[in-house]
């Protein structure tokens, strides 16, 4: 048989490459900030929150009722999400620690950019200087997360500008949404990866009148602010999804909507005047605990996944999944070459599509300074300093009943597994420091049913444990 002419071979290669590119979905990660588990209306927990666009996203795909962040704090959870590896393996265990390890790692944006994806970051970064975001694989940057000047190399219209500080022209949540929609318009014919990290409802609480007016009536002002900021986020989700629909990209786009950690309640949920430090107005119900804890309220977060036409619609998914799965899923869908140890998550699509009926993870594990935890199926072992708790989350998602003494063999098995995993971290071990007075107060209040000694205001714990 005669060999094919060179021109034909080249044409076939080009067609093959084009077909491969067309098979790869766009990927959008929408990341909220200090957003409590209760605060999506599709969760069905509280009746004052209104998130119709996120609800529509969940209805078109999956509401993951057991989705987890990698940490109960901003910086480590973002580092883990973007690298796709547990952050204590590269030295970013907590806020305030060196980011040198993160700087050495490949982010999922870098991996996707090398595969031909257009990459863009919007909103909160928190992993170094704004003008340096492009060093981590993002071609376009719109780093607005407040009312002040911010680093950007695009404008609200998605057009290029020289990297530098851009004055605020829109409320930060709206600005990120508009810039993201503009990038979709600009790159509708190219595969893209968008990381839209809204600084909401994190303090300072700064919702505009447009959104505050949606929530009249008697309520704590901090609650009104949180609801309003989340309503602005929801409008942004609606703008992003409608822009995708305008370009017939809905079925070509995988969207993740995830919280970075639980809401900070500061135990008492004080309605302090102003929008500064303190309770951010969000709620973690029915989960126990808050930001700064490896109790469920600290890192069990809102988690929605949508890819119409690939992931069946209307699913409630009850197997535990992790923000680490985002990078692994994206890498698999983009047909990236990765080596063992590069990524700690799994490709979720076979599990969410119904192809694989098993649980995606044998166990999920965490370490955060003085705290460590493991969830294996319905069992969870939680350590805080020298304290240890065992919960069956199927019957006790509120972590009200410590059954450590009742099931010592379960605790022993989980402790061994958690200890073995902790030896892979840097530094190794179940803890890297002592419990702080604040964490002791949290454990006393939420897990022991005590009023913390250092807290003078009256408070009643949820129940005796």
- pLDDT tens digits for range 248-296: 999 999 999 999 999 999 999 999 999 999 999 999 999 999 999 999 9
pLDDT at 1 over 50: no
List the CATH number of the domain containing 396: 3.30.1120.10
Q: How many domains does the chain have?
A: 2
- Are residue 347 and residue 385 in the same domain, yes or no? no
pLDDT tier at 7, thresholds 50, 70, 90: low
Per-residue pLDDT tens over the stretch 158-216 = 999 999 999 999 999 999 999 999 999 999 999 999 999 999 999 999 999 999 999 99
Question: How many CB atoms are closer than 10 A to CB 387?
Answer: 17
pLDDT for res 349: 98
pLDDT at 424 over 80: yes
In angstroms, the CA 7 to CA 50 distance is: 58
Do residue 83 and residue 56 come from a single domain?
Answer: yes
In this structure, the answer to whether residues 372 and 339 fall within a common structural domain is no
Q: What is the pLDDT of residue 451?
A: 87
Mean pLDDT (whole number) for 37-58: 98
460 within a domain of the structure (yes/no)? no
Q: Is the pLDDT of residue 136 over 80?
A: yes
Those residues whose C-beta lies under 8 Å from the C-beta of residue 113, and which sit 6 or more positions away, are 119, 137, 138, 139, 193
Residues 314 and 369 in one domain: no
- In this prediction, residue 452 carries a pLDDT of 73
Same domain, 418 and 333: no
Judged by DSSP in three states, 78 sits in: helix
Residue-level pLDDT at 23: 85
Whether 326 and 388 share a structural domain: no
Identify whether residues 334 and 410 lie together within a single domain.
no
- Domain-embedded: residue 131: yes
In a domain, 15, yes or no: no
Query: Do 100 and 211 belong to one domain?
Result: yes
Neighbour order of strands in the sheet with 387-392: 364-368, 371-376, 379-384, 387-392
Is residue 462 one of the residues assigned to a domain? no
Identify whether 79 is preceded by a cis peptide bond (ω within 30 of 0): no
134 plus 162 within the same structural domain = yes
Is there a domain that residue 256 lies in? yes
Q: Are residues 382 and 241 in the same domain?
A: no
The token duo for 304 is 């929605």
Four-CA torsion 438, 434, 453, 415, nearest 10 degrees: 100
DSSP labels, 81-114: HHHSS-GGGTT--STTS--HHHHHSPPHHHHHHH
Domain span at residue 387 reads 364-448
Is residue 218 a part of any domain in this protein?
A: yes
Look up residue 241 and give its two tokens.
Answer: 């999804």
Is 465 within a domain? no
Q: Kindly state whether residue 5 falls inside one of the protein's structural domains.
A: no
Does one domain contain both 336 and 379?
no
CATH number assigned to the domain comprising residue 71: 3.40.720.10
pTM (global) more than 0.85: yes
Q: Do 175 and 51 lie in a common domain?
A: yes
Rg over CA atoms, the chain: 22
Token representation of residue 114: 């090398």
């Amino acid at each position: 048989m005669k060999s094919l002419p060179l021109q034909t071979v080249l044409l076939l290669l080009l067609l093959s490459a084009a077909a491969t590119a067309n098979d790869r979905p766009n990927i959008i990660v929408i990341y909220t900030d200090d957003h409590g588990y209760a605060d999506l209306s599709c969760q069905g927990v509280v009746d004052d929150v209104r998130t119709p666009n996120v609800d529509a996203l969940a209805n078109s795909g999956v509401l993951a009722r057991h989705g987890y962040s990698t940490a109960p704090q901003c910086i480590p959870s973002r580092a883990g999400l973007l690298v796709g590896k547990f952050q204590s393996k590269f030295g970013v265990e907590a806020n305030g620690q060196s980011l040198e390890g993160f700087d050495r790692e490949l982010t999922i944006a870098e991996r996707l950019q090398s595969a031909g994806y257009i990459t863009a970051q919007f909103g909160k970064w928190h992993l170094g200087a704004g003008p340096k975001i492009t060093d981590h694989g993002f071609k376009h940057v719109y780093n607005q997360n407040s009312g002040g000047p911010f680093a950007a190399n695009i404008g609200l219209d998605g057009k290029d500008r020289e990297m530098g500080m851009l004055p605020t022209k829109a409320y930060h949540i709206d600005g990120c949404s508009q810039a993201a929609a503009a990038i979709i318009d600009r790159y509708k014919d190219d595969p893209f990866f968008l990381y839209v990290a809204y600084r909401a409802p994190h303090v300072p609480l700064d919702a505009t009148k447009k959104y505050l007016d949606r929530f009249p009536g008697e309520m704590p002002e901090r609650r009104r602010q949180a609801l309003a900021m989340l309503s602005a986020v929801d409008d942004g989700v609606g703008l992003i999804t409608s822009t995708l629909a305008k370009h017939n990209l809905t079925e070509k786009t995988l969207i993740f909507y995830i919280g970075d950690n639980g809401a900070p309640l500061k135990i008492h949920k004080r309605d302090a005047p102003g929008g500064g430090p303190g309770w951010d107005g969000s709620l973690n119900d029915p989960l126990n605990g808050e930001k700064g804890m490896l109790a469920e309220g600290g890192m069990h977060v809102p988690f929605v996944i949508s890819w119409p036409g690939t992931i069946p619609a209307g699913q409630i998914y009850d197997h535990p999944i992790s923000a680490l799965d985002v990078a692994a899923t994206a890498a698999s869908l983009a047909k990236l070459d990765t080596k063992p140890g590069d990524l700690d998550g799994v490709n979720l699509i076979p599990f969410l599509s119904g192809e694989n009926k098993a649980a995606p993870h044998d166990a999920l594990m965490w370490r955060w300074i003085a705290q460590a935890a493991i969830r294996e199926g319905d069992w969870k072992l939680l350590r805080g300093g020298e304290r240890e708790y065992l919960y069956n989350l199927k019957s006790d998602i509120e972590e009200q009943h410590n059954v450590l003494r009742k099931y010592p063999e379960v605790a022993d098995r989980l402790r061994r597994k958690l200890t073995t995993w902790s030896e892979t971290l840097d530094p190794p071990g179940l803890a890297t420091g002592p419990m702080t007075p604040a964490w002791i107060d949290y454990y006393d209040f939420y897990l022991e049913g005590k009023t913390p000694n250092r807290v003078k205001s009256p408070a009643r714990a949820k129940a005796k444990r």
